[in-house]
Amino acid sequence: MAEELLRIDDLHTSFFLEDSVVRAVEGVTFSVRRGEALGLVGESGCGKSVTALSMLRLVQEPGRVLRGRVTFSGRDLLTLPESAMRRVRGGEIAMIFQEPKAALNPVFTIEFQIQEMLRVHTALSKADRRRRTVELLDKVGIAEPAQRMKDYPHQLSGGQAQRVMTAMALSCRPKLLVADEPTTALDVTVQARIMRLFRQLQEEIEFAFVLITHDIALCAQAADRIAVMYAGVIVEIAATRELIRNPLHPYTRGLLDSLPGRTARRELRSIPGTVPDPAAKPPGCFFSSRCPLAEARCRDELPEMREIAPDHWVRCVRV
Ligand SMILES: Nc1ncnc2c1ncn2[C@@H]1O[C@H](COP(=O)(O)OP(=O)(O)OP(=O)(O)O)[C@@H](O)[C@H]1O
Ligand SMILES: [Mg+2]
């Protein structure tokens, strides 16, 4: 088993609103191994983005990381001085988001924006920075990169913009790339191409990859392991094949049942009920109100994560 690159332990993040506290992340624990692709999957609002922002210390007021540890390459990111943290962000850990165009600065050319990343995070000379920019754009599949890099963001299609974001993210050779819904804003064929690109780049450049998505089918294609998140906690984590063949948590089963080909239903509507309000979560297992297997004890205490089979963890007392 590959060595752990990132470990998140018992992470809690809440938003302190005027009249309520939104417990967005409530004890998230998982690790990412060197070079692997980990899928973090769950319904809208379950805390995927807040988990990613918390680990990079990018949560804004009124949000606060309350407790937990984020260990990356032997350092605790939650206690690192801000100056060191700035070098980690964009350098060792890169992040890309759902709306590539919103993340690019409209007033600067692509070339300027990639070179700026290289200027901040590397010691390359100006000529080398230019060479690396062309090389990167070529790697992510931008045709005629030396010309296209003179373009402004508005001249790119959605798919091209995501390729440019990817080039920028990979420019400093990160050890970890976190992609939050990187293809949700793109149409299906472009989405498939971008996912293939991530896989190919991962083989070539060897970085670990965290793919955040609500789409378990996308995870199944792109990830080595999958972590399933529900209402602020991880409920199951296992290697992709194992999770697909032998899902143990009732929520994971519900997600998989909603896949086309498994049943006639496509959407998560196949799990009746809705995610609990994060400002008023019930005691016990957060899934108990929707769970077909719930019994009295499920409403009393949040179950611990248990290793049911080698490397297959689940948070359910009924398994
Ligand atoms: N700035 C904020 N202020 C108040 N609540 C917030 C804030 N940001 C996030 N939340 C809440 O935290 C919870 C988790 O949000 P998060 O964005 O992590 O969900 P997500 O799993 O990424 O969902 P999606 O799939 O829609 O992106 C949600 O209930 C959300 O409303
Ligand atoms: Mg999100």
Within a domain: 220: yes
Q: Which helix (H) or strand (E) holds 210?
A: strand 208-213
Average pLDDT of the segment spanning 242-252: 96
Q: How far is the CA of 124 from the centre of ligand 1 (A)?
A: 38
Q: Is 49 in the pocket of ligand 1 (CB under 6 A)?
A: yes
DSSP state of 295: -
pLDDT number for residue 265: 43
Within a domain: 18: yes
Which ligand is closest to the CA of 16, given by its number? Answer: 1
Q: Is 15 in the pocket of ligand 1 (CB under 6 A)?
A: yes
Q: Residue 288's domain spans which residues?
A: 4-34+42-85+214-307
Residue bearing the CA closest to ligand 1, atom 6: 15
Within a domain: 275: yes
Q: Is 41 in the pocket of ligand 1 (CB under 6 A)?
A: no
Residue bearing the CA closest to ligand 1, atom 30: 45
Average pLDDT of the segment spanning 230-252: 97
What is the C-alpha R_g of the chain? 20
Q: How far is the CA of 163 from the centre of ligand 2 (A)?
A: 20
Count of other CB atoms within 10 angstroms of residue 102: 11
**pTM recorded for the entire structure:** 0.94
Which ligand is closest to the CA of 23, given by its number? Answer: 1
Query: Strand order of the sheet with strand 21-33?
Result: 21-33, 4-16, 63-72, 75-76
Within a domain: 198: no
pLDDT number for residue 259: 77
User: Does residue 56 contact residue 35 with C-beta atoms inside 8 Å?
Assistant: no
pLDDT number for residue 297: 94
Higher-confidence position of 152 and 280: 152
pLDDT number for residue 208: 97
Number of separate domains in the chain:
1
CATH of the domain at 260: 3.40.50.300
State pLDDT tens for residues 89-140. 989 999 998 888 888 999 999 999 999 999 988 999 999 999 999 999 999 9
Within a domain: 101: no
Residue bearing the CA closest to ligand 1, atom 19: 45
Quick one: which of 6, 240, 183 has its CA closest to 252? 240
Q: Which atom of ligand 1 is nearest to the CA of 25?
A: 14
Within a domain: 12: yes
Query: For 82, how many CA atoms within 13 A lie in the half-sphere containing its CB?
Result: 1
Within a domain: 243: yes
Within a domain: 50: yes
